[in-house]
């Protein structure tokens, strides 16, 4: 009697085992972008991942709080658990999306505070240099390869500041107006904080908040702005 009741159970177990062995392979983990994460940008035809000039970057810091791995291969980050990706190297910055377990990417930059930057491989309009990267923290990912040789940035953008990213040389003036004295030039790959806009079409810049050799306040024409930052659409009115 017991043999008759056990036979269907064995058959059922065999069918379940066969179904499990035929399960489809899991998809390759990927970077999940947060659809709410947007940046204020002016479209352009050129996209650059160039890092700041040598004056703003170095590859071998004398002291570092993080044990960056050294190896013979390129530095690669890999996610072992779900983690957040940021638009800038700070936990106070805008969240760009999530790292799914198994995701990996070459590391193209790092910071003294333990952030690693990578190219997410998506179209980003006119983002340039450090603003094109996305960031994960040392504590949230696994690193392998020669990460100590990856360029360490000495200047990084503040998490909530609006910055101008010129796509071509821009003339800076001491006051708003083309008749004002020329203060200098903001080159492609150089960035400066945008403080506000005048009612006459000029932007006030803080050159001290950027990677240029210039400091202090300068003005540029608003029509030439190419901006990055979540606060760029909330710039206050300013007066000279």
At 113 the pLDDT is 96
User: How far is C-alpha 18 from the geometric centre of its chain's CA atoms?
Assistant: 46
At 124 the pLDDT is 83
Q: Which two tokens stand for residue 106?
A: 């070459």
Domain ranges of the chain: 31-153, 163-234
> Which residues of the chain are under the pLDDT cut of 50?
1-26, 28, 36-50, 52-62
Q: Which two tokens stand for residue 139?
A: 């504590």
Largest Cα span, the chain: 105
At 126 the pLDDT is 85
Q: Domain 163-234: which CATH class?
A: mainly beta
Q: Which of 198, 123, 191 shows the shortest CA–CA distance to 161?
A: 191
At 33 the pLDDT is 66
- Kindly report the number of other CB atoms within 10 A of residue 84's CB atom: 15
At 190 the pLDDT is 97
- For the segment 45-75, what is each residue's pLDDT rounded down to a tens digit? 333 444 544 344 444 444 568 999 999 999 9
What's the Cα-to-Cα distance from 174 to each of 83, 104, 152, 164, 192, rounded to whole Å? Answer: 45, 46, 33, 17, 15
- For the segment 86-99, what is each residue's pLDDT rounded down to a tens digit? 999 999 999 999 99
Q: Which of 68, 65, 155, 77 shows the shortest CA–CA distance to 113?
A: 65
């Amino acid at each position: 009697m017991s043999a008759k009741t056990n036979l269907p159970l064995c058959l059922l177990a065999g069918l379940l085992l066969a179904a499990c062995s035929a399960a489809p392979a899991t998809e390759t983990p990927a970077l999940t972008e947060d659809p709410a994460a947007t940046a204020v940008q002016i479209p352009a035809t050129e996209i650059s991942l160039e890092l700041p000039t040598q004056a703003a970057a170095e590859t071998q810091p004398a002291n570092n709080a993080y044990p960056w791995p050294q190896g013979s291969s390129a530095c690669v980050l890999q996610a072992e658990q779900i983690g957040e990706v940021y638009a800038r190297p700070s936990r106070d910055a805008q969240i760009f999306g999530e790292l799914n377990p198994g995701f990996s990417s070459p590391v193209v930059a790092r910071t003294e505070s333990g952030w690693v930057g990578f190219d997410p491989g998506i179209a980003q309009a006119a983002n340039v240099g450090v603003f094109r990267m996305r960031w994960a923290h040392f504590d949230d990912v696994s690193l392998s390869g020669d990460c100590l040789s990856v360029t360490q940035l000495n200047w990084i953008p503040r998490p909530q500041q609006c910055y101008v990213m010129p796509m071509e040389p821009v003339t800076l003036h001491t006051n708003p107006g083309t008749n004002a004295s020329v203060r200098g030039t903001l080159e492609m790959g150089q960035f400066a904080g945008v403080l506000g806009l005048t009612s006459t079409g000029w932007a006030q810049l803080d050159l001290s908040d950027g990677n240029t050799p210039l400091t202090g306040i300068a003005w540029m024409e608003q029509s030439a702005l190419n901006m990055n930052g979540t606060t760029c659409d909330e710039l206050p009115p300013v007066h000279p």
